[in-house]
Structure 1
Amino acid sequence: MNIDCNIDGSVDVTGCKLSIYPMSDQFSGIITDAIQQLATLKLPVWQKTDMFSTTYRGRQENVVNIVKAACQLAYKDSVHTVYELTFSKGCPGDTDADHYLNEEITPIKFDRELPNIPVACKYSFYAFGEADYMQDIEKIVNLAEEKGLNPQGMHYATKLSGSIDDLFDYFNQALSYAHEHIRHYVMEVTISVNSPSTK
């Protein structure tokens, strides 16, 4: 994992690096169409796309809403797609997004309703510089149980299943809890839709 940090940044900036992997011959168009649809909006976050992913930085709720919308926009009924997300907060290298912390929480609106798709997810949560981090991770996993996402332990990760609406509502809750209790943390997430493995 490569996270650029220096000593001058804001610990309040939430960041997410998003990569989209459609299992389709039209993968390039699916990815660029989703990102470009978002780019046409005046988004209340810092953003940058490179050859690997698109990074969003700013106020937590706005970042989560935008990443969710990107996943929904890239969804195709018959296409197995995997989304890789890295959420981070407390990294002192997020200076280029500080001014976006003043933005209001802004729902992402399109001329159509985005689909509330069924998803499978695995995620791992990492707390840095915390001696008693396991109690916080336990609390974060319990929030998923309360959300009805059926958390199941697996080696090095926790599996979740449910709707994309419930999943990203949970991400907001989990990140809010972490912000209150942990100075610097990273959450690595893999989301799968339309996987043939579920059949």
Structure 2
Amino acid sequence: MFSGAQISLYPMSDDFIGIILGAIKALDPYRPHFRIETDDVSTLIVGPPEQLFPAMRDLFVAAAQTGAHCVLSATVSRGCPGEPDDPICTPQNDMSSALPLSDRIDAAREAVAAAPWTGQAIAAQFSLYPLGVGHHMDEIYGCIDFLKNSGVFDRPKNFCTRLKGDAGPVFATLAEAFLRFGAPEGHVTLDLTVSANSPSAKV
């Protein structure tokens, strides 16, 4: 399997360079498990699928805790048929994605309930795409069922779902949606935008 994310971080601050460089240090604990490549558009992180969202969480929280309005944009993928299998992407934990849908929904809720809090409030919107043929709509409806009872569900929007709350449970919810829904060996992608400290939230 191949799993990874293309991420871009946008601090709305004159000190955007300092905020970005400071936040990137939050990825240091993940570097032994990841291949990380940065260019002038985005940063690619390739590695175990269950570590992708904790890494993004720590990166984003480090930037957001400066108090600046920050946005993270990411495209996350696992099982892409156009990418070669990579041993670095071997899951470190058994996510039991082959379990019946109802069991996966329960396991996802338990994982979010146990997620550590960071003290950083965020909002996120995302779209999940379990690609391929078969019962993909069952997977999407199952994911929606999980999201509505995740504790961070805010509301549905056109083409996406909005989450709101502490960064810990929000990123845990995103991880569970990505890891537990869709065929275990299928191609699943997730399109994500996260925001913190937005002035729009005060209007």
TM-score (normalised: structure 2): 0.78
Give the match for residue 83 of structure 1.
72
Structure 2 unmatched runs, 5+ = 94-115
Which one has the bigger helix percentage?
2
Matched, 1:61 2:62: no
Give the match for residue 144 of structure 1.
147
For residues 58 and 136 of structure 1, the distance between their equivalents in structure 2, rounded to whole angstroms, comes to 24
For residues 91 and 141 of structure 2, the distance between their equivalents in structure 1, rounded to whole angstroms, comes to 31
Give the match for residue 36 of structure 2.
47
For residues 131 and 91 of structure 2, the distance between their equivalents in structure 1, rounded to whole angstroms, comes to 27
* Residue 186 of structure 1: how far off its partner (Å): 1.1
Contact residue 69 and residue 114 of structure 1 kept, 8 A = no
Deviation per CA, 1:80-110, whole angstroms, max 9, x where unpaired?
A: 1111111111113443x712135746xxxxx
* Residue 121 of structure 1: how far off its partner (Å): 0.8
Match for residue 98 of structure 1 among 60, 78, 86: 86
* Residue 68 of structure 1: how far off its partner (Å): 1.3
Range 164-173 or range 38-47, more displaced: 38-47
Give the match for residue 35 of structure 1.
24
Contact residue 64 and residue 70 of structure 2 kept, 8 A = yes
Give the match for residue 179 of structure 2.
176
Contact residue 85 and residue 190 of structure 1 kept, 8 A = yes
RMSD: 2.4
Cα 1:94–1:102 change in 2 (3 A) is: same
Cα 1:68–1:37 change in 2 (3 A) is: closer
Range 176-185 or range 23-32, more displaced: 176-185
Alignment size in residue pairs: 180
Matched, 1:18 2:7: yes
* Residue 134 of structure 1: how far off its partner (Å): 2.4
Contact residue 141 and residue 151 of structure 1 kept, 8 A = no
Cα 1:178–1:73 change in 2 (3 A) is: same
Contact residue 84 and residue 191 of structure 1 kept, 8 A = yes
For residues 40 and 125 of structure 1, the distance between their equivalents in structure 2, rounded to whole angstroms, comes to 27
Contact residue 44 and residue 103 of structure 1 kept, 8 A = no
For residues 29 and 168 of structure 2, the distance between their equivalents in structure 1, rounded to whole angstroms, comes to 23
Percent of aligned pairs with the same amino acid: 28
